[in-house]
């Protein structure tokens, strides 16, 4: 399978715990994006990387959230001190992009987080 993969698919955690999600993009894609989707809403942009550089972060990404993409391959999204409001589907997408040109973004299956 050469699509975007995410791990784990489901995560249940208690409030206050830290969680980390992993995303493996399509291999030739240099851009990687994180989105969050709550029930009944479309996905909302969180952050994106071009290669290993994090180029933009949304205001939705509070200080408790951190994302990395070491070596420009897979990415991790960590949430510290989780809150019930963090419960959502976390989606990763990847694309190939050049300066001022954006191509299609392909999404992974998502990680569903439930904070109890």
Partner 1 sequence: QKEVEQDPGPLSVPEGAIVSLNCTYSNSAFQYFMWYRQYSRKGPELLMYTYSSGNKEDGRFTAQVDKSSKYISLFIRDSQPSDSATYLCAMCRSEKLVFGKGTKLTVNP
The answer to whether residue 96 forms part of the interface with partner 1 (CB under 8 A) is: no
d(CA 102, CA 116): 38
The answer to whether residue 72 forms part of the interface with partner 1 (CB under 8 A) is: no
Given a contact cutoff of 8 angstroms between Cβ atoms, the answer to whether 43 and 106 are in contact is no
The answer to whether residue 108 forms part of the interface with partner 1 (CB under 8 A) is: yes
The answer to whether residue 74 forms part of the interface with partner 1 (CB under 8 A) is: no
- How many residues form the binding site for partner 1 (CB under 8 A)? 28
Nearer to partner 1, 82 or 94 (CB): 94
Residue ranges with strand state E in the chain: 5-7, 10-13, 19-24, 31-37, 44-50, 53-57, 65-68, 75-79, 88-95, 97-98, 101-102, 106-107, 111-115
- Give the binding site for partner 1 (CB under 8 A): 4, 6, 31, 33, 35, 40-45, 48, 55-56, 89, 91, 93, 97, 102-110, 112
């Amino acid at each position: 399978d050469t699509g975007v993969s995410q791990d784990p698919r489901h995560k249940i955690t208690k409030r206050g715990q830290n969680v980390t999600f992993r995303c493996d993009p399509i291999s030739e894609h240099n851009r990687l994006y994180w989105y969050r989707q709550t029930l009944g809403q479309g996905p909302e942009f969180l952050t994106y990387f071009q290669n290993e550089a994090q180029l933009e972060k949304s205001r939705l990404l509070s200080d408790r959230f951190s994302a990395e993409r070491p070596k420009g391959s897979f990415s991790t999204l960590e949430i510290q001190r989780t809150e019930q409001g963090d419960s959502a589907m976390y989606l990763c997408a990847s694309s190939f992009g050049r300066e001022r040109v954006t191509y299609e973004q392909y999404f992974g299956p998502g990680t569903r987080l439930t904070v109890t």
